[in-house]
Chain A
Amino acid sequence: EVQLLESGGGLVQPGGSLRLSCAASGFTFGSYAMSWVRQAPGKGLEWVSAISGSGGSTYYADSVKGRFTISRDNSKNTLYLQMSSLRAEDTGVYSCAKHRVPWELLDAFDIWGLGTMVTVSS
């Protein structure tokens, strides 16, 4: 079964850092681009970042550029999101998502994890 499982969320003070992980199983992880998407409480979906299958290309939303870093370890089937200089507006559920077709960045997301909650508050 294809599955994504996020971890690493929690409560952090403004200005702090956090690293999220997304463990993938049931598919050839290294063949697929992956994204992080977040959802603030009671709000809609916001794409945060994407990474190619090889990890050689990374992309960020303007709202997180320079503060967040996406990476992956294909030997461990794991996606990461390193978050620093966190702000209250970064609060939300962070989910990883698999792009539908191998090697394709411009694609819909066919598998999503349940997400991990990040709360930025003093």
Chain B
Amino acid sequence: DIVMTQSPDSLAVSLGERATINCKSSQSVLYSSNNKNYLAWYQQKPGWPPKLLIYWASTRDSGVPDRFSGSGSGTDFTLTISNLQAEDVALYYCQQYYTTPSITFGQGTRLEIK
């Protein structure tokens, strides 16, 4: 199985500042035939299911504010939240979907307001 490791486990950022969450996969999730990284980011608020933010490592899902951005390739990825808002407080997960039947998630990163 591909192991996804997020860092940090938690972080506190001031309103209006930038938050950066990292995700590292134990093997590449870049599919060479189409040059796509099979990597997604999700946001989960208490009592709610995860919400898809980013897929293909850097494509925002419909309706996701442009202050959310994804970057990286191969094994190292980053979710950046610019101009942090109070409603961004949540758990964030990365997910690889490079291998079925073994989709895996990172352990999650808790984002709080400083």
Further 20 A-B residue pairs, CB within 8 A, beyond A45-B95, A60-B101, A108-B40: A44-B107, A45-B108, A46-B105, A47-B104, A59-B101, A61-B101, A62-B1, A95-B49, A100-B52, A100-B55, A105-B100, A106-B38, A107-B55, A108-B61, A108-B95, A109-B42, A109-B52, A109-B95, A114-B49, A115-B49
**Interface membership of A34, Cβ < 8 A:** no
Query: B90: shortest Cβ distance to chain A, in Å?
Result: 13
CB of A45 within 8 A of CB of B105, answer yes
Q: Chain A interface residue count: which class?
A: 20 to 34
CB of A50 within 8 A of CB of B55, answer no
Query: A2: shortest Cβ distance to chain B, in Å?
Result: 11
* B residues at A contact (CB < 8 Å): 1, 38, 40, 42, 44, 48-52, 55, 61, 93, 95, 97-98, 100-108
* Cα distance A45–B95 in the bound complex, in angstroms: 9
Chain A residues in 8 Å Cβ range of B103: 35, 47, 50
* A residues at B contact (CB < 8 Å): 35, 44-47, 50, 59-62, 95, 97, 100, 105-110, 112-115
Chain B residues in 8 Å Cβ range of A107: 55, 97
Query: B94: shortest Cβ distance to chain A, in Å?
Result: 10
* Cα distance A15–B51 in the bound complex, in angstroms: 33
